[in-house]
A = this chain, B = another copy of it.
């Protein structure tokens, strides 16, 4: 990522937003090294993720002995086809869940290798431990008000496991196995905010953002599909499944100030909002340009490259 101090006068304008982007690049020092994880062969295209150091004690029991290679990489179903690879990945997940190496959500995410091929599924709770990429969908629920654009903002339930009480989008969620990001968006918008499908299906896919960071739960390598939807003024969202405590309609200028001055929004919501602010013209052209480049700079390269700040 560019050093902000090289950006000249525009640095002051964007510094308070830049920190949200910098934060998703952060790798804390002292992490145990991760083992690169492949399916089928030890080539860059066949890589799917990397195993967390916390899994070390389980590897001997949960992996076929020939899967661990000299040099430390792990290769599942070497020389075999996609079906065998998917089965080997499922076997690994089931074995890790059996020994309670990670939490069990009862929800599975699709896994793709670096060549973009679907390779199988990983239990959601194991995703940060296996370092596979996860997909999410976020909805900017907009209303054109008399004083300018407004945004529907949710307050996350105080009982949520992650980030309770923080501000969030009208709807957002992880993309489960077999679903597309759009299907997820329509489903979540119905479940979380009571948005009728016929309205939700008018969303506009506005951007795809990537980030990678280490959190307490492990490595988060996320691909966020962002959507805009301009809602009719008489639509009032309802917290259907109680993941959200309440919704409020906030002028976009106020959202802008909150993102700038506080950490009130969930960490990845800030990224989606910065993309929206750029497109809504809330930055100078230079400021928008620098932030756009920082967001685009998070596009997926190899995991090794992105994690180069880390010890592994």
Binding site for B on A (CB under 8 A): 1, 44-45, 114-116, 180-182, 186, 201-208, 210, 225, 228, 278-281, 284-286, 288-289, 292-293, 296-297, 299-302, 304-305, 308
Residue contact B208 to A292, C-beta cutoff 8 Å:
yes
Known contacts A45-B305, A45-B308, then 20 further A-B pairs from the complex at CB < 8 Å, ordered by chain A residue? A1-B116, A44-B302, A44-B305, A115-B308, A116-B297, A181-B293, A182-B285, A182-B286, A201-B285, A203-B285, A204-B278, A204-B280, A204-B285, A204-B288, A205-B289, A225-B289, A228-B279, A279-B279, A299-B300, A300-B301
User: Given A207-B207, A299-B299, A114–B289 Cβ distance below 8 Å?
Assistant: no
- In the bound assembly, the distance between CA atoms of A285 and B229 in angstroms comes to 11
Residue contact B116 to A278, C-beta cutoff 8 Å:
no
Taking CB atoms, residues of chain B closer than 8 Å to A45 are: 305, 308
Residue contact B305 to A115, C-beta cutoff 8 Å:
yes
B202, B302, B305: which contacts A285 (Cβ < 8 A)?
B202
Residue contact B301 to A205, C-beta cutoff 8 Å:
no
A-B pairs with beta carbons under 8 Å apart, 16 shown: A1-B116, A44-B304, A44-B305, A180-B289, A182-B286, A182-B289, A201-B285, A202-B281, A204-B278, A204-B285, A204-B288, A205-B285, A208-B296, A225-B292, A228-B279, A300-B301
B204, B284, B289: which contacts A281 (Cβ < 8 A)?
B204
- Nearest chain B CB to A198's CB is how many angstroms away? 11
Taking CB atoms, residues of chain B closer than 8 Å to A286 are: 182
- In the bound assembly, the distance between CA atoms of A279 and B204 in angstroms comes to 6
- Nearest chain B CB to A45's CB is how many angstroms away? 6
- In the bound assembly, the distance between CA atoms of A45 and B302 in angstroms comes to 10
Nearest-neighbor residue (CB-CB) of A282 within chain B: B204
Taking CB atoms, residues of chain B closer than 8 Å to A278 are: 204-206
Residue contact A301 to B180, C-beta cutoff 8 Å:
no
- In the bound assembly, the distance between CA atoms of A201 and B281 in angstroms comes to 11
B186, B206, B289: which contacts A181 (Cβ < 8 A)?
B289
Taking CB atoms, residues of chain B closer than 8 Å to A285 are: 182, 186, 201-205
Shortest 3 CB-CB distances between A and B: which pairs? A299-B299, A208-B296, A205-B292
Taking CB atoms, residues of chain B closer than 8 Å to A297 are: 116
Taking CB atoms, residues of chain B closer than 8 Å to A210 are: 299
- Nearest chain B CB to A156's CB is how many angstroms away? 26
